Amino acid sequence: MSHLPSSPAAPRNDVREVTPAEAKVRLGQGAVLIDVREDDERASVPEGSLGVPRGLLPMRAATLVSNLGTPVLLICGSGVRSRLAAATMLDMGYQDVASVAGGFARWSAEGLPTTAGLLDTDAADRYARQVILPQVGAAGQARLAASKVVIVGAGGLGAPAMLYLAGAGVGHLTLIDDDLVERSNLHRQVVHADSRIGMAKVESARAQLLELNPSIIVTTRAERLQAANVESLIEGHDVVLDGADNFSVRYLLAAATGRLKIPMVYGAVERFSGQVSVFDPRRDDSPCYRCLFPHPPAAADAPNCNEAGVLGVLPGTIGLLQGTEVLKLLLGIGESLVGRLLTYDALAMRFHQIVLPRDPMCPGCGADAGFAGYRDIEAFCAST
């Protein structure tokens, strides 16, 4: 619904002004700060602000601030355009609007926090509902844009996670999978489509992700992760999302992420149950995957997933939990699942948390653990 006035209003002279220091306090209390300078003027912006040129404000305001009662602060270079912008928003029905006196020049002179102006008009609009969160803000959104996440597996777990990571604005996603799209994938691997059956999964996923968010970079690696390439495939990334379908890949990821000090967000599903955890080798208190599974199970204890089956929505639930943990790690917010294993029973609709401490005798990260090189082991599970 548009907040545009039905008829032109006379210029207002009742625009309230606040100092930059007052604006900073109100921003921390939930107000929305909008920088109405032009895109090319915003090389540096007030920390936590959204950027929209004043001329586009009438069209973008409802997207940025959907509630007319939300406190809104406007800032420009010197305080002139922000007063005009504030008058516009008052005419549109917003109830708590103020202009920042002295604009960005005074904000900077008073030593208030600034950040690089990486949110252009498209980004400010696209991520409006996310950057309004105090835990994210413009600085957090810029951090996401600069992040690189590798998703191992473009199947049931990776598909929902990658869709939401792309939508959230994670700037660079690397997809690793050597499979082709099959019709039997489609009930759970929601990034693919019937029209792309037979296409490489990574290319099918890339097409869908760029359709969702053309501003990100998607790199595809249509190859199987193995001992010979594991480090080269994941190095240089900020987080690894484990959407693998077999134990062989997970043990390789456990070893490589530990050596490269990259957090690994683990997920697994079978039939009606799933589990999620985070292994972060940057933390001294974090367990690793081998604290949970010290050694590969016997083949009899690892049924083929094609035979066991899986409820189609289950990988979606677990994959989205993994995506949530990835975003928390990138933004540095919240409490991650490090040291905890979250299990999910879809039939009972019940989550259960298990404490997962670091094992001092762990063959992967224990005090006496050694590294004898990467080794491929038998892949027990054919498909997630």
Pair 321, 276: CB distance under 8 Å: yes
Average pLDDT over residues 329-354: 96
Confidence band for 51, pLDDT divided at 50, 70 and 90: confident
What is the rounded distance in angstroms from the CA atom of residue 125 to the CA atom of residue 121?
Answer: 6
Percent of the chain with pLDDT over 90: 71
Predicted local distance difference test score (pLDDT) of residue 297: 76
| DSSP reduced 3-state for 75 | strand
Predicted local distance difference test score (pLDDT) of residue 43: 75
Distance of alpha carbon 172 from its chain centroid, rounded?
11
Confidence band for 4, pLDDT divided at 50, 70 and 90: very low
Is 3 a residue whose pLDDT tops 60? no
In the predicted model, what is the mean pLDDT of the chain?
A: 89
pLDDT tens digits for 186-212?
999 999 999 999 999 999 999 999 999
Q: What type of residue is 246?
A: N
Predicted local distance difference test score (pLDDT) of residue 378: 58
pTM of the model: 0.73
Sequence-separated (6 or more) residues with CB below 8 Å from residue 124: 50, 51, 52, 60, 64, 131
> Residue 99: beta bridge partners?
17, 74
Is 301 a residue whose pLDDT tops 70? no
Active-site choice (76, 291, 305, 365): 305
Q: Which stretches within the chain are classed as H helix?
A: 20-28, 57-64, 80-91, 103-109, 121-126, 128-131, 137-145, 158-168, 201-212, 230-234, 247-260, 289-292, 305-308, 313-331
Average pLDDT over residues 21-37: 93
Predicted local distance difference test score (pLDDT) of residue 306: 58
Confidence band for 20, pLDDT divided at 50, 70 and 90: very high
pLDDT tens digits for 213-262?
999 999 999 999 999 999 999 999 999 999 998 888 999 999 999 999 99
| DSSP reduced 3-state for 273 | strand
Predicted local distance difference test score (pLDDT) of residue 2: 41
Backbone angles phi, psi at 129, to 5 degrees: -75, -15
What is the rounded distance in angstroms from the CA atom of residue 76 to the CA atom of residue 341?
Answer: 48
> Considering only the top CATH level, what class is 147-355?
alpha beta
Q: What type of residue is 331?
A: L
CA proximity to 179, closest of 382, 356, 37: 382
CATH architecture classification, 16-128:
3-Layer(aba) Sandwich (3.40)
Pair 233, 363: CB distance under 8 Å: no
Tokens for 64, please give them.
């940025």
Least confident of 127-136, 172-181, 244-253, 330-339: 127-136
Match 């921003």 to its residue by tokens. 27
Average pLDDT over residues 80-86: 95
Cβ count near 46 (within 10 Å): 28
Could you check whether 16-128 and 147-355 share the same CATH topology?
Answer: no
Predicted local distance difference test score (pLDDT) of residue 307: 60
Predicted local distance difference test score (pLDDT) of residue 124: 76
For 336-350, give the secondary structure using H, E and C.
Answer: CCECEEEEEECCCCE
Average pLDDT over residues 328-350: 96
Is 7 a residue whose pLDDT tops 50? no
Percent of the chain with pLDDT over 70: 91
Taking the domains of the chain in order of start, what are their residue ranges? 16-128, 147-355
pLDDT tens digits for 269-279?
999 999 999 99
Pair 216, 241: CB distance under 8 Å: no
Predicted local distance difference test score (pLDDT) of residue 117: 64
Q: Is 305 a catalytic residue?
A: yes
Least confident of 9-23, 98-112, 156-170, 281-295: 9-23
Distance (Å) of CA 185 to CA 332, 379, 382: 34, 19, 12
Predicted local distance difference test score (pLDDT) of residue 133: 85
